[in-house]
């Protein structure tokens, strides 16, 4: 797809000088984005047992879509849960956390974005970004508890005998969302079972919707308390896999009292897109510094934070 | 007795700077001797940094702070009594003493008398179980730093401590004995402060891991041994040549960080390349920021000195703790704060907002981390810490850069 | 709050009982001590504070001040209050619903007339921490210094002196003047009368546990501490109840029930009902003891000794930092006294104090062969889960 179909006709400030790739290896699903000077390509595959294989699969699919060869790629940035297991001998590669990448990804397609909520498979985050640069100003993540993450919703779907992609729609049909504990997944689970039993006993057809809605609100409450730390300045953007769950969107919008701004593309790709944008910057810096790669003897990889400047060329990955 | 086979995280020789290895060996030898016995001296143990070792030494007791924790096994042994809603530290205190559970810590079992101040309500509750396992003296610790009556009360409780220590040691403990120890411990604290201040350099010769080891020394070594070791250490470290490295400067604030709970600091320093330059918690720099008056009634001096120290968040008013934390952040010119609180710690968990906002007023970003002694969450920590460091790097770059052009921006 | 007044006791065998004047009077009295009523009193210029309703209450009354029990803070709208605690105050999720509801409601009502809060430093740590946050909303929060007797009969003179000095300071905070010790002595004598009468009524009730339902029995316990702000009127209520129960004394209980001892407080009305539906009757209840103040001591010392003794005895709960190890002694005595067949031990989810105490009690009662079930609820008013109701009923069935 041409980039201007997503971001409009004006020149896009994140246009890379060469094709670059962002790979977001999540706990459940992996996303890849390839940016060229005028186009964008996206792919999704379920995360396999081996991160490298999944990453290679993503890369292969992207290259195929874009009709490019591996050696055409200027830079790759990896992010997400599986980022640190990846290695590329023949391509320049860096890791950046998914917090930074989600921020950049949302910013790249929605320059007015200020507050991002990202709910993934096992994490949820609230991020405040600098509107001008897309950089993270402040962020808060969930503590270790699973309430407020995708995993919580997965469990709920199983207990209610629904597919995960049905859960949100069923929740939207609720007329009286059940009060479900948001303190702990385990408590919530047992409450759900009780409610379900009660609904069956009273042959309450609306029970399942109400319970589903209750779960979404319980989950949303956990996420909302993160927001109190970073604020809810507009525009609000919802990223990550759970962003496609209409029930969750509704619950969050109700609790926050504001709407999410619609994004011009599926925000499940926010992380990978942000990674690709960072890849573009790394590439530009490497070109400017004259340290651009061709396959050669590989220096040791330096940890990201040790270099004084994040975009100083780090050389090839070992 | 052999060392416990608990799955704790202990700094190995590798994770400490070479200068610290001698101190580390001294501490381990001392700990072994504590367990070994055979020297005819009674052993006193205590949990809280408000317990004056000055009094214990004046009685000639061998003593140590009991703050060894970090193993999930010990936690679950303690949990048999408390169930889930206690912090992992308080659970570990129980688990370490419970012989019947089969994984008690020989170090804890070597204690003849436990002096337990009523600090937070959870620890007080834990002690009600622990006193079944070891002879325990419970003491009150006032909260109101600003009230004269509270200070007088603490002085009275400290005299009670002295009386019991004397009885345990089988000898009298005079006011002069205590005054002498006050002098000695003041000089030790001064040295620890000076060692910490080396971290004010842009390229600190000591890591956060190193400093935690120094603090370990304070709580395990006899004072004379500590004094000598620190003097030597300071001479060596102060002479270290300043390098060009400029690691990110962080303050860790929050709940107690047990001896054995190092995985976060290791992650921050050895994996992510940042540096902990100061600690606002009771097993780091905080207990060393005060001096006891060296004249007058030693118990009045101790009560005043300990209540004057940078306070634990259980003290009132909370504003005093917030001020102390902010002062520390300024003094050490930290770029970011890791606010690390144990899950279920009321003092630091419930008060979290107050601390975070105070740091924000100082212009210092904060990363909040809820922690416990499980071993499987390092990946989660890594993501958060790395993201935080990315934010700090951006801020640093913003402060330095002059021209907004893209190429210059990324070519520092 | 008013939901409680509307509850009717279940009559299993259709036996009709005449309406109780005593209970009606009790409910009416409680109404005057409702949060709204007290707000009006405060707005009219009278001194009203949060806290101070327990061991210190004679001092508070002697300072012409009405102490309000914290539980009013979670009677209404508790879920919304808890959400405020988590969002606005960033209280981490793992803490109990009680302290979250407290800080949330204090925040919501921050512009009302009750702006002073007293709490005891020896008590619940999360509550102590959360009240620090209340200062941000302009509340004047006083902490009574942390003094504890850790074991029965272990009180140090310095501790008593510290408490006495603190009580004087609190009196100055309330009135701007030194405390009137004679008035404190009078209030102590009056409270002792209340305590004696509450004990008498509870003993009578033990023989007919179905006559005073759970919620109203709980009221009696609370009233023993604070007298609903009007001790004389409460004494009248107690006298009426005593008469009514004495009249029943000769009459055999027609409804069979399984006698139980309840340890701790139950927040949820439905659980009381479940107990009775399953055939249980709460014959004995360990909640607040009726141990009197020592009138032979100077009044402030009397208050100090009272709380130190309670701590060592395991009485008066976490609000005073009572020992967890000793409450089971009180529970076991109550079991033997009432002939109860089992113990229901109740606590709030997320409470460290309660969870430890329950575990120790579980271990102990298993050893002495007395059946025990542990219940955990939150402070919200919604019905307990099916699971909890089933457990309670199954436990009672097991005892029949």
CA separation for the pair B199, B34 (Å, rounded): 32
Point out the least confidently predicted range of A73-87, A202-216, C87-101, C297-311: A202-216
Q: What CATH number did the domain enclosing A170 receive?
A: 3.30.420.40
* CB-CB contact of A137 with A115 (8 Å): no
In three-state secondary structure terms, B395 is helix
**Chain A residues touching residue B376 (CB < 8 angstroms):** none
Instruction: For residues A88 and A201, state if they share a domain.
Output: no
Question: What is the total count of domains within chain A?
Answer: 2
Pick the residue of C90, C154, C173 with the most B CBs within 10 A to test the interface with B by mutation: C90
Average pLDDT over residues C258-282: 84
Q: Which of residues 319-378 of C touch A (CB under 8 A)?
A: 349-350, 378
Instruction: For residues A183 and A161, state if they share a domain.
Output: yes
Under 8 Å CB-to-CB from B203, ≥6 apart: which residues?
B242, B243, B244, B245, B246, B247
Under 8 Å CB-to-CB from C263, ≥6 apart: which residues?
C285, C286, C327, C331, C343, C344, C345, C346, C361
* CB-CB contact of C312 with C152 (8 Å): yes
In three-state secondary structure terms, C345 is strand
Q: Which stretches within A205-259 are classed as H helix?
A: 207-230, 246-256
Judge residue C297's burial from the number of C-beta atoms within 10 Å of its C-beta, 0-12 exposed, 13-18 middle, 19 or more buried: middle
> Which DSSP symbol is given to A308?
S
Under 8 Å CB-to-CB from C371, ≥6 apart: which residues?
C341, C342, C343, C365, C395, C398, C399
Contact A303 B406 (CB under 8 A): no
Q: Is residue B412 part of a domain?
A: no
Q: Which stretches within C283-326 are classed as H helix?
A: 299-313
**Chain B residues touching residue A99 (CB < 8 angstroms):** 383-384, 387, 390
CA distances from B23 to B62, B189, B233 (A): 19, 16, 8
Q: Which stretches within A141-295 are classed as H helix?
A: 150-159, 164-172, 185-201, 207-230, 246-256, 270-289
| Residue whose C-alpha is closest to residue C86's, from C98, C75, C100 | C100
The secondary structure element, H or E, covering residue B79 is helix B72-82
CA separation for the pair A276, A288 (Å, rounded): 18
Q: What is the pLDDT of residue C1?
A: 35
| Residue whose C-alpha is closest to residue B48's, from B93, B4, B96 | B93
CA separation for the pair A107, A100 (Å, rounded): 11
CA C375 to chain centre: 17
CA separation for the pair B36, B113 (Å, rounded): 16
Cα Rg, chain A, nearest whole Å: 21
The secondary structure element, H or E, covering residue C118 is strand C116-120
- Two structure tokens written together for B292: 């006891």
Instruction: For residues A153 and A256, state if they share a domain.
Output: yes
C86/A contact by beta carbon, under 8 A: yes
Q: What range defines the domain where residue C272 resides? A: 2-399
Instruction: For residues A131 and A252, state if they share a domain.
Output: yes
User: What is the least distance, in Å, from the CA of A195 to any CA of chain C?
Assistant: 8
- Two structure tokens written together for A199: 């609904």
Give B410 or C128, the one with higher predicted confidence.
C128
Q: What CATH number did the domain enclosing C176 receive?
A: 3.40.50.11900
| Residue whose C-alpha is closest to residue C159's, from C171, C146, C172, C168 | C146
Question: What is the total count of domains within chain B?
Answer: 1
- Two structure tokens written together for A75: 């830079």
In three-state secondary structure terms, C290 is coil
Contact B383 A143 (CB under 8 A): no
Phi and psi at residue B277, to the nearest 5°: -105, -10
**Cα dihedral angle (C333, C339, C342, C343), rounded to 10 degrees?**
-40
Closest-CA residue in chain A for C378? A181
Q: What range defines the domain where residue A173 resides? A: 113-262
Q: What is the pLDDT of residue B404?
A: 54
* CB-CB contact of B195 with B214 (8 Å): yes
**Chain A residues touching residue C97 (CB < 8 angstroms):** 183
Q: In this structure, is the dihedral angle defined by the CA atoms of residues A175, A179, A185 and A187, taken in order, positive or negative? A: negative
In three-state secondary structure terms, B250 is strand
In three-state secondary structure terms, A177 is coil
Q: Is residue B122 part of a domain?
A: yes
User: What is the least distance, in Å, from the CA of A206 to any CA of chain C?
Assistant: 19
Q: What CATH number did the domain enclosing B110 receive?
A: 3.40.50.11900
Question: What is the total count of domains within chain C?
Answer: 1
Point out the least confidently predicted range of B121-130, B209-218, C190-199, C202-211: C202-211
Q: What is the pLDDT of residue B82?
A: 87
CA separation for the pair C96, B203 (Å, rounded): 45
For chain C, give the percent of residues with pLDDT over 70.
Answer: 95
User: What is the least distance, in Å, from the CA of A171 to any CA of chain B?
Assistant: 30
Provide the β-strand partners of residue A23: A32, A78
Average pLDDT over residues C64-81: 92
Contact A136 B391 (CB under 8 A): yes
Point out the least confidently predicted range of B103-107, B361-365, C164-168, C312-316: C312-316
> Which DSSP symbol is given to C45?
T
Instruction: For residues A82 and A29, state if they share a domain.
Output: yes
CA separation for the pair B91, B256 (Å, rounded): 13
User: What is the least distance, in Å, from the CA of C79 to any CA of chain B?
Assistant: 18
Model pTM score: 0.89
**Chain C residues touching residue B126 (CB < 8 angstroms):** 356
At which residue do the structure tokens 């070519």 appear? Answer: B411
In three-state secondary structure terms, C14 is coil
Q: Is residue B410 part of a domain?
A: no
**pLDDT tens-place values along chain A, 318 residues long:** 999 999 999 999 999 999 999 999 988 889 999 999 999 999 999 998 888 999 999 999 999 999 999 999 999 999 988 787 788 888 999 989 889 999 999 999 999 999 999 987 778 899 999 989 899 999 998 876 666 777 778 888 888 888 888 888 888 888 888 877 766 667 677 777 778 777 777 777 778 888 888 889 888 888 888 888 899 999 999 998 888 899 999 999 999 999 999 999 999 999 999 999 999 999 999 988 888 754 333 344 444 443 344 554 433 322
Q: What range defines the domain where residue B335 resides? A: 13-399
Q: In this structure, is the dihedral angle defined by the CA atoms of residues C96, C98, C102 and C108, taken in order, positive or negative? A: positive
Average pLDDT over residues C283-290: 86
- pLDDT confidence tier of residue C389, bands split at 50, 70 and 90: confident
At which residue do the structure tokens 């031990």 appear? Answer: C345
Instruction: For residues A82 and A31, state if they share a domain.
Output: yes
Q: Is residue B61 part of a domain?
A: yes
Pairing relationship of beta strands C140-144 and C116-120 according to DSSP bridges: parallel
Closest by Cβ to B122, choosing from C92, C125, C148 = C125
- Two structure tokens written together for B118: 């009523």
Closest-CA residue in chain C for B116? C150
In tens, the pLDDT along C323-366 reads: 887 888 889 999 999 999 999 998 888 888 888 888 889 889 99
Contact C143 B138 (CB under 8 A): no
**Chain B residues touching residue C150 (CB < 8 angstroms):** 118, 128, 138
Contact A309 B410 (CB under 8 A): yes
User: What is the least distance, in Å, from the CA of A192 to any CA of chain C?
Assistant: 10
Low-confidence stretches of chain B (pLDDT < 70) are 1-13, 402-412
Provide the β-strand partners of residue C116: C49, C140
Largest CA distance in chain B: 76
Q: What is the pLDDT of residue B351?
A: 97
Instruction: For residues A195 and A224, state if they share a domain.
Output: yes
- Two structure tokens written together for B20: 């610290």
Q: Which of residues 354-393 of C touch B (CB under 8 A)?
A: 355-356, 358-360
CA separation for the pair B112, B97 (Å, rounded): 12
C382/A contact by beta carbon, under 8 A: yes
Q: Is residue A225 part of a domain?
A: yes
Q: What is the pLDDT of residue A298?
A: 38
- Two structure tokens written together for A179: 């009060």
Closest-CA residue in chain A for B339? A140
Instruction: For residues A202 and A249, state if they share a domain.
Output: yes
């Amino acid at each position: 797809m041409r980039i201007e179909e997503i971001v409009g006709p004006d020149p896009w400030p994140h246009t890379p000088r060469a094709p670059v790739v962002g790979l977001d290896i999540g706990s459940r699903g992996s996303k890849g984005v390839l940016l060229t000077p005028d186009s964008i390509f996206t792919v999704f595959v379920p995360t396999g047992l081996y991160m490298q294989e999944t990453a290679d699969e993503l890369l292969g699919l992207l290259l195929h879509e874009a009709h490019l060869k591996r050696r055409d790629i200027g830079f790759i940035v990896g992010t997400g849960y599986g980022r640190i297991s990846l290695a590329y001998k023949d391509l320049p590669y860096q890791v950046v956390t998914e917090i930074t990448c989600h921020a950049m990804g949302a910013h790249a397609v929605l320059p007015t974005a200020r507050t991002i909520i990202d709910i993934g498979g096992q994490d949820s985050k609230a991020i405040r970004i600098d509107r001008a640069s897309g950089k993270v100003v402040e962020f808060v993540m969930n503590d270790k508890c699973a309430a407020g993450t995708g995993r919580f919703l997965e469990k709920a779907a199983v207990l209610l005998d629904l597919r995960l992609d049905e859960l949100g729609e069923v929740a939207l049909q609720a007329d009286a969302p059940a009060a479900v504990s948001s303190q702990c997944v385990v408590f919530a689970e047992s409450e759900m079972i009780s409610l379900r039993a009660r609904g069956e006993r009273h042959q309450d057809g609306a029970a399942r919707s109400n319970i589903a809605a209750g779960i979404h609100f319980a989950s949303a409450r956990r996420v909302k308390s993160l927001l109190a730390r970073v604020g809810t300045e507009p525009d609000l953007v919802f990223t990550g896999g759970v962003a496609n769950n209409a029930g969750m969107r509704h619950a969050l919008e109700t609790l926050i009292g504001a709407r999410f701004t619609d994004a011009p593309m599926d925000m499940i790709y926010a992380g990978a897109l942000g990674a690709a944008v960072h890849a573009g910057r790394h590439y530009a810096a490497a070109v400017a510094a004259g340290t651009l790669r061709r396959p050669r003897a590989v220096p040791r990889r330096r940890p990201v934070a040790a270099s004084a400047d994040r975009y100083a060329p780090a050389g090839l990955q070992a | 007795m052999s060392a416990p086979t608990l799955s704790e995280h202990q700094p190995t020789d590798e994770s400490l700077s070479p200068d610290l290895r001698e101190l580390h060996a001294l501490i381990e030898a001392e700990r072994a001797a504590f367990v070994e016995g055979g020297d005819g001296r009674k052993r006193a143990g205590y949990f809280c940094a408000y317990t004056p070792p000055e009094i214990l030494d004046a009685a000639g007791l061998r003593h140590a702070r009991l703050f060894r924790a970090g193993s999930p096994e010990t936690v679950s042994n303690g949990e048999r009594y408390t169930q889930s809603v206690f912090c992992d530290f308080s659970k570990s205190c129980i688990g370490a003493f419970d012989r019947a559970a089969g994984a008690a810590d020989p170090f804890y079992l070597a204690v003849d008398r436990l002096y337990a101040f009523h600090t937070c309500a959870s620890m007080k509750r834990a002690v009600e179980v622990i006193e079944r396992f070891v002879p325990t003296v419970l003491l009150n610790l006032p909260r109101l730093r600003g009230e004269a009556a509270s200070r007088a009360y603490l002085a009275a409780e400290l005299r009670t401590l002295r009386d019991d220590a004397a009885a345990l040691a089988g000898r009298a403990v005079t006011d002069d004995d205590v005054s002498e120890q006050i002098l000695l411990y003041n000089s030790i604290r001064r040295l620890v402060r000076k060692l910490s201040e080396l971290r004010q350099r842009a390229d600190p010769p000591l890591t956060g891991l190193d400093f935690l080891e120094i603090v370990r020394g304070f709580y395990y070594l006899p004072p004379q041994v500590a004094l000598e070791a620190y003097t030597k250490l300071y001479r060596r470290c102060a002479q270290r040549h300043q390098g060009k490295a400029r690691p990110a400067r962080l303050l860790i604030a929050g709940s107690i960080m047990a001896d054995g709970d190092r995985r976060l600091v290791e992650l921050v320093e050895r994996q992510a390349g940042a540096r902990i330059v100061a600690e606002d918690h009771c097993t780091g720099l905080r207990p060393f920021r005060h001096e006891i008056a060296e004249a007058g009634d030693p118990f009045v001096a101790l009560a005043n000195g300990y209540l004057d120290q940078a306070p634990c968040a259980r003290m009132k008013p909370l504003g005093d703790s917030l001020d102390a934390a902010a002062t520390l952040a300024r003094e050490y010119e930290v770029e970011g704060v890791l606010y690390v609180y144990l899950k279920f710690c009321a003092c630091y968990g419930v008060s979290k907002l107050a601390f975070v906002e105070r740091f924000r007023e100082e212009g210092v970003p904060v990363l909040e981390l809820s922690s416990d002694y499980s071993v499987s969450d390092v990946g989660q920590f890594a993501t958060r810490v790395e993201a935080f460091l990315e934010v700090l790097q951006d801020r640093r770059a913003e402060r330095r850069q002059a021209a907004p052009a893209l190429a210059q921006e990324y070519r520092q | 709050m008013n939901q409680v007044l509307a509850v009717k006791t279940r009559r299993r065998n259709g036996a009709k009982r005449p309406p109780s004047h005593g209970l009606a009077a009790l409910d009416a009295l409680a109404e005057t001590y409702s949060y709204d009523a007290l707000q009006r009193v405060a707005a009219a210029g009278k001194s009203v504070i949060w806290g101070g309703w327990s061991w210190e209450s004679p001092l508070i009354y002697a300072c012409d001040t009405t102490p309000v029990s914290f539980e009013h803070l979670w009677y209404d709208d508790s879920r919304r209050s808890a959400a405020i605690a988590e969002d606005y105050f960033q209280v981490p999720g793992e803490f109990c619903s009680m302290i979250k509801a407290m800080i949330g409601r204090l925040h919501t009502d921050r512009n009302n007339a009750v702006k002073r809060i007293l709490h005891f430093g020896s008590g619940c740590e999360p509550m102590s921490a959360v009240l620090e946050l209340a200062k941000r909303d302009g509340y004047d929060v006083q902490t009574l210094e942390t003094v504890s007797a850790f074991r029965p009969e272990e009180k140090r003179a310095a501790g008593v002196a510290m408490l006495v000095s603190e009580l004087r300071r609190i009196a100055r905070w309330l009135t701007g003047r030194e405390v009137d010790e004679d008035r404190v002595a009078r209030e102590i004598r009056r409270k002792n009368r209340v305590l004696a009468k509450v004990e008498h009524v509870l003993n009578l009730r033990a023989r007919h546990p179905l006559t005073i339902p759970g919620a109203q029995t709980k009221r009696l316990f609370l009233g023993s501490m604070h007298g609903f702000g009007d001790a004389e009127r409460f004494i009248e209520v107690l006298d009426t109840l005593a008469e009514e129960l004495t009249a029943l004394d000769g009459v055999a209980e027609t409804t069979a029930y399984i006698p139980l001892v309840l340890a701790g407080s139950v927040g949820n009305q439905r659980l009381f009902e479940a107990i009775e539906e399953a055939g249980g009757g709460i014959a004995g209840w360990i909640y607040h003891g009726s141990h009197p103040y020592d009138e032979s001591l100077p009044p402030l010392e009397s208050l100090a000794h009272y709380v130190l003794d309670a701590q060592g005895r395991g009485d008066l709960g976490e609000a005073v930092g009572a020992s967890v190890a000793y409450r089971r002694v009180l529970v076991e005595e109550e079991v033997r006294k009432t002939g109860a067949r089992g113990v229901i031990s109740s606590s709030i989810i997320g409470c460290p104090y309660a969870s430890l105490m329950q575990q120790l009690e579980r271990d102990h009662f298993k050893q002495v062969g007395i059946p025990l079930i542990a219940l955990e609820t939150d402070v919200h008013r919604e019905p307990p889960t099916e699971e909890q109701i089933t457990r309670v009923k199954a436990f009672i069935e097991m005892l029949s």
